[in-house]
Amino acid sequence: MRILVVDDDRRLCAVIRRGLLEESYAVDLAYDGEDGEYLAEVNPYDLIILDIMLPVKDGIEVCRELRAKKISTPILMLTAKDAVEDRVKGLDTGADDYLVKPFAFSELLARVRALLRREGTSKSPELRVGDLVLNTLTRQVNRGQRPIELTTKEYVILEYLMRHPKVVVTRTMIEEHAWDYDFDSLSNLVDVYIR
């Protein structure tokens, strides 16, 4: 499952990203509304976590424009605005859920799982390439009838590759998807995982 986090608080983004990666989610980050909207338009995300108070373009406008463009990816609004009117405005604009800062990461994770479950009912949670099957809800992988045990990082890489069948995926693309952006591109770490 691939999640886009759009928030101008880089420290919060890093914490959310780290926690979601530990749960085997693939995570992309954007730090302003314009970049977030662009990424949401050009990438197939399963969920968008969107702050309201963003530079360049606020989250309400981003949500409104994504919905106007018929992008139906679930959106979880994440913001310090906790007035009832703000929550109603966010939901009426097209958000699927609303979480007020500060929050417990366990609650964020529960909301992410709930939104992905909801979304999963409209499309198959399984990715298939030949006889290799990856279930994105249960995070189980099978080759034929044989289950395959994977580490969190192996799962993230495999899911990324299976979401891009018949596409050349570069080492840099894998590094950016599976590791932090400041990853040392001269490392052979990708080679260790993909042999």
Do 106 and 158 fall within a single domain? no
Do 21 and 62 fall within a single domain? yes
Structural domain including 155 reads: 126-193
Do 101 and 167 fall within a single domain? no
Mean pLDDT of 166-175: 78
Supply the pLDDT for residue 83: 84
To the nearest 10 degrees (0 to 180), the angle between helices 84-93 and 59-68 is 30
Instruction: Domain count for the chain, please give it.
Output: 2
As beta bridge partners, residue 109 has: none
Q: Is the pLDDT of residue 57 over 70?
A: yes
Do 114 and 150 fall within a single domain? no
Task: Tell me how far CA of residue 109 lies from CA of 19, 23, 24, 74, 115, in angstroms.
Answer: 9, 9, 12, 14, 10
Q: Is the pLDDT of residue 98 over 50?
A: yes
Model confidence at 121, in pLDDT bands (50, 70, 90)?
very low
Mean pLDDT of 146-172: 84
Model confidence at 111, in pLDDT bands (50, 70, 90)?
very high
**147 or 169, which is more confident?**
147
Positive/negative CA dihedral, 148, 14, 9, 81: positive
Do 95 and 17 fall within a single domain? yes
Do 112 and 188 fall within a single domain? no
